[in-house]
Structure 1
Amino acid sequence: MKPTLYIVIPCYNEQEVLPITAPEFLQEIRKLQKNEMISEESRILFIDDGSKDNTWSIISDLARKDKTYCGIRQSRNRGHQNAVLAGLMEAKGKCDITISIDCDGQDDINAMDDMVKAYLDGCEVVYGVRSSRKTDTFFKRFTAQSFYKFLNRMGAEVVYNHADYRLISSRVLEEFANYKEVNLFLRGMVPLVGFKSTSVYYERHERIAGESHYPLKKMLALAFNGITSLSVKPLSMITGFGLTVSFLSFLGVLWAIIAQVVGNTVAGWASIICIVCFMGGIQLVCLGVIGEYIGKIYMEVKGRPRYIISERTDDKLENK
């Protein structure tokens, strides 16, 4: 029996790029169906993440013209990770496999062929991994690669050079639904579920149209959120650093006592100020890291919904 595929595509202010990439996604689904790899019930699911432009109107028009297209709209902008999660949970009970991909045309759509083949060979999760970063600037390439290496050193299990282009089976999604975190970092959470997985490598292209919604500020925020959401190693590092500083301070106290006994003391204002400023800065940094974890606990305890769907294209079609 051929599996039903839902392509899950988060969108935020994509009125410029959506008319270009939507037909490409449809062409890919038609090709997979023609090759008898997926069923005729397969769909393209757009998630409008509270866009302020005409993105939702475009999605609605696509759904009216072709039943392969469908869409949901969040009540407000919740961020890329929440939008992807909303799409996965929406598709969970309607399909056998999902493939999440951005709608900007940067990820190679043709890699879906190999993803579906890997699923048919028994893999439950297939990660889309960039084979190179030739299209990135030196700064972005260096920071991105450093980020993945740093995450792994922090104890977070992530796939190197993988973002959110992946195939997930409904079996995995059923288990993934049991993860109730409010602070989402999907590329680190999916490997935690387990099951047989593999990777498919592809070349990433330049954005087709529009502007990137991930400037440096958002990239740094995502990186920090990923580290603090998946690992408590920063807290362990603080403890280790505190013990090291305490040991050095103890040696300093011994040195001061010995110097006082032998009468070799010199009043030093500059040295005292340096030590005070250094220790004060270290304490503030440590308190900031601890505060970040406390803030995450605060948000988790509240148990607020991770997404709220305000509209569905299916509802509009049924009302007609």
Structure 2
Amino acid sequence: MSVPVLYLVVPCYNEQEVLRDTAEKLEQKLTRLIDVGGVDAKSRIAFVNDGSRDNTWELIRQCTERSPLFSGINLAHNEGHQNALLAGLMTVLPHADVTISMDADLQDDIHAIDLMLEKHAAGANIVYGVRENRASDTFLKRFTAESFYRAMRALGADIVFNHADFRLMDRRALTALAEYPEVNLFLRGIVPMIGLSHEIVYYTRKQRLAGDSKYPWRRMASFAWEGVTSLSARPIRMISQMGMFISFISGLMLIWSIARHFVGETIVGWTSLVVSLWFLGGLILLSIGVIGEYVAKIYLEVKRRPRYLVQEFIDGNARGKK
């Protein structure tokens, strides 16, 4: 088996504080892999600029001018992490045999790349980078993250526990991913749907090199909700089941009230009536909101708007810019 052309796909949004260090470490890693014959000399580090408002794109351009090991993909607009990652993967697909996606803050362990390539050489089409533990997280972060994965599984989403977007995908897997045209992207759930041969590599996640996380609590909650509603219709089914349960309880309460009336122990139930009305009113609003979320997703899907637009692609293997 010939050595593969590897592309490291790294989405970037306002990463000027970490980009120089990230570029240096990835360049050293890729150079070593080329020197030992682990990957082809045409391998590249592809930074994807997701509409950054700082100097991220200028730094990426400087990297491509300094070394042929770097590629730059500049999106025309900020599209979000998942769309930026997909844009990078699909843009390099014609030139790569294997891709490994990772975050720009290098919290993902770059030394796990060697083991990923070994798993691929042994026949795996997809290799998931999975956190060995969450010892470096605060209790709240660890509790909410693990609860998210458990909730996703409970709601019917087939996701890999403690896996984010640090993964290897070969050309066959990427070609299969291209067949999933949905606008509401949640790659952590879509990639396992592909199937194919897959393996897991465990690693220890590090602290950010610099700067702040691009996923504060509000965005994490939004991302979790996006994942649930993109991958599963179970929340709607749960509303139906809850409605049937409440109807059953209401029937029992009706029988109980009639029985109390005939034995002469009728009690004025003002409090229970008000509480019931508030409860049912809140449940109705919640149900409408959940259904509305799915309707909104249908609305976005049927419009078939492009998920991203590549404004510029700098890559020697692509023979120039486009």
State the shift of 1:289 in Å: 1.0
Cα distance change on mapping 1:184 and 1:172 into 2, 3 Å: same
Tell whether 2:150 aligns with 1:149.
yes
State the shift of 1:291 in Å: 1.0
Structure 1: where are the runs of 5+ without partners?
Answer: none
Q: Please provide the CA RMSD for this pair.
A: 1.4
CA distance in structure 1 between the partners assigned to 2:252 and 2:143 by the alignment: 39
State the shift of 1:16 in Å: 0.8
- The answer to whether the 8 Å contact 2:165/2:188 transfers is yes
- 1:202 maps to which residue? 203
Alignment of 1:27-42 (within 5 A): 27-42=28-43
Partner-residue secondary structure (3-state), 1:291: helix
* Superimposed CA distance per residue, residues 262-301 of structure 1 (whole angstroms, 9 cap, x where no aligned partner): 3321222211101111111111111111111111111111
State the shift of 1:250 in Å: 1.0
CA distance in structure 1 between the partners assigned to 2:320 and 2:273 by the alignment: 75
- 1:111 maps to which residue? 112
Alignment of 1:1-320 (within 5 A): 1-314=2-315, 318=320
State the shift of 1:222 in Å: 0.5
Partner-residue secondary structure (3-state), 1:207: coil
Partner-residue secondary structure (3-state), 2:130: strand
Q: Tell me whether 188-197 or 266-275 shows the greater mean CA deviation.
A: 266-275
Partner-residue secondary structure (3-state), 2:180: coil
Q: TM-score, normalised by structure 1?
A: 0.97
Q: Which runs of 4+ in 1 moved over 4 A?
A: none
The one-letter code of the counterpart of 2:101 is S
Structure 2: where are the runs of 5+ without partners?
Answer: none
The one-letter code of the counterpart of 2:27 is L
Partner-residue secondary structure (3-state), 2:52: coil
CA distance in structure 1 between the partners assigned to 2:320 and 2:76 by the alignment: 20
Cα distance change on mapping 1:231 and 1:134 into 2, 3 Å: same
* Superimposed CA distance per residue, residues 175-221 of structure 1 (whole angstroms, 9 cap, x where no aligned partner): 11010110111011000001000100111111001111110000000
- The answer to whether the 8 Å contact 2:45/2:70 transfers is yes
Q: TM-score, normalised by structure 2?
A: 0.96
